[in-house]
């Protein structure tokens, strides 16, 4: 075989080899991603109860969905949850990553402590925190009482935090539209931040350690102080990592369900339904007795479109400020 034939064979085999390596992953993606998405889209146009398709209903379930006030209230609760988790997770994980990136003793121990909640069972975490927030036997209220504070209902409190603050100031009336997220939802947000911060710390640490030292040396030679080094060097070069953490945290926050279900539900999703997020609403409509999987599929599709829209919006508004 001549060198020309070898070259032609190599040009043919390289793409074929790549395709053969991609086939197993492609099969998994098609079976466990694409097929369920397509099935949910199709089911959203049918009346499906007790696992049986009863008939084609077209857009009726989408019309019913947008006429249901519970859908909009659950969407608002989800918005509160995302607004509480995403900024706090970004700030605290970045702060911890910067501190852990220093040369300190027992660094491996601190990194392990922060990451431990990520690999711990979410069911176990939810049960422990449910006990911590218990209004009568909980550790948190016990600490408050020891310090001279008042015990709170936490996971059983339906009032919004702004309404509670106004009540504490002696205001007898507060508009319901401005009551804010319930204290029960705030408790769940605290747990979500505590559990997810370890994963974001690892991502930020990887980004920090990929910044070349010569940039820091040049900044110090130019007389930059630590604050200037962070804002002029670290923060811009960490922007790709920050952008990724922002996207991933936003997406996972919209999909929250397990801790909501375990800590505050059922039957109605927390006190007076104040922790009923959109995925809990989906679960309730699709899996309760007589649930309609077609209607639940319509909810899932709307949630997908919301997440997709926010992701595209973040890319348009934030990615232009990312320095690669």
- What pLDDT is recorded for position 7? 47
- What pLDDT is recorded for position 8? 53
pLDDT at position 3 over 90: no
Q: How confident is the model at residue 169 (pLDDT cuts 50, 70, 90)?
A: confident
Token couple for 58: 């077209």
Could you tell me the CA-to-CA distances from 3 to 8, 10, 18, 96, 317 in Å, in that order?
9, 10, 23, 57, 52
Pair 86, 163: CB distance under 8 Å: no
Average confidence (pLDDT) over 51-64? 89
Pair 204, 97: CB distance under 8 Å: yes
The DSSP result for 26-78, as a single string, is HHHHIIIIIHHHHHHHHHTTEEEETTEEEEE-TTHHHHHHHT-HHHHHHHHHH
Q: How confident is the model at residue 303 (pLDDT cuts 50, 70, 90)?
A: very high
Compute the distance between CA of residue 21 and CA of residue 224 in angstroms, rounded to an integer.
49
Q: How confident is the model at residue 324 (pLDDT cuts 50, 70, 90)?
A: confident
* Residue-range domains of the chain with CATH: 3-60 (no CATH), 67-321 (1.10.3720.10)
Tell me: the pLDDT tens digits for 174-222? 887 788 999 999 999 999 999 999 999 999 999 999 999 899 899 888 8
Token couple for 181: 């997220």
- What pLDDT is recorded for position 177? 78
- What pLDDT is recorded for position 9? 55
pLDDT at position 11 over 90: no
Pair 252, 82: CB distance under 8 Å: no
Pair 61, 44: CB distance under 8 Å: yes
CB neighbours of 276 closer than 8 A, spacing ≥ 6?
Answer: 70, 73, 74, 77, 260, 265, 268, 269, 270, 284
Compute the distance between CA of residue 110 and CA of residue 302 in angstroms, rounded to an integer.
41
- What pLDDT is recorded for position 2? 58
- What pLDDT is recorded for position 13? 56
- What pLDDT is recorded for position 226? 86
- For the chain, the maximum distance between any two Cα atoms, rounded to a whole number of angstroms, is 93
Tell me: the pLDDT tens digits for 76-99? 999 999 999 999 999 999 999 998
Q: Model's pTM, two decimal places?
A: 0.90
Token couple for 238: 């960490």
3-state secondary structure 157-213: CCCEHHHHHHHHCCCCCCCHHHCCCEHHHHHHHHHHHHHHHHHHHHHHHHHHHCCCH
């Amino acid at each position: 075989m001549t060198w020309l034939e070898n070259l032609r064979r190599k040009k043919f085999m390289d793409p074929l080899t790549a395709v053969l390596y991609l086939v197993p992953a492609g099969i998994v993606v098609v079976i466990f991603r694409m097929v369920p998405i397509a099935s949910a889209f199709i089911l959203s146009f049918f009346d499906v109860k007790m696992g049986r398709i009863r008939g084609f209903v077209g857009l009726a379930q989408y019309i019913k969905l947008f006429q249901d006030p519970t859908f909009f209230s659950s969407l608002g609760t989800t918005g509160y949850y995302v607004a509480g988790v995403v900024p706090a997770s970004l700030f605290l994980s970045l702060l911890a990553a910067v501190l852990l990136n220093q040369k300190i003793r027992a660094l491996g121990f601190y990194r392990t402590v922060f990451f431990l909640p990520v690999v711990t069972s979410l069911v176990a975490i939810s049960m422990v925190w449910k006990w911590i927030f218990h209004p009568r036997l909980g550790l948190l209220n016990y600490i408050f009482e020891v310090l001279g504070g008042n015990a709170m209902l936490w996971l059983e409190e339906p009032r919004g935090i702004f309404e509670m603050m106004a009540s504490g100031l002696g205001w007898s009336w507060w508009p319901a539209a401005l009551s804010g997220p319930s204290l029960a939802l705030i408790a769940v947000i605290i747990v979500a931040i505590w559990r997810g911060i370890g994963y974001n710390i690892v991502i930020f640490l990887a980004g920090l350690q990929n910044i070349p030292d010569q940039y820091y040396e040049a900044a110090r030679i130019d007389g930059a102080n630590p604050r200037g080094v962070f804002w002029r060097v670290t923060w811009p070069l960490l922007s790709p990592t920050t952008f990724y953490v922002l996207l991933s945290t936003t997406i996972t926050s919209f999909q929250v369900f397990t801790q909501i279900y375990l800590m505050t539900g059922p039957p109605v999703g927390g006190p007076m339904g104040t922790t009923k997020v959109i995925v809990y609403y989906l679960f309730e409509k699709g899996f309760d007795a007589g649930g309609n999987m077609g209607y639940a599929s319509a909810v899932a599709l709307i949630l997908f479109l919301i997440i997709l829209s926010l992701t595209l919006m973040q890319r348009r508004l934030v990615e232009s400020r990312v320095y690669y």
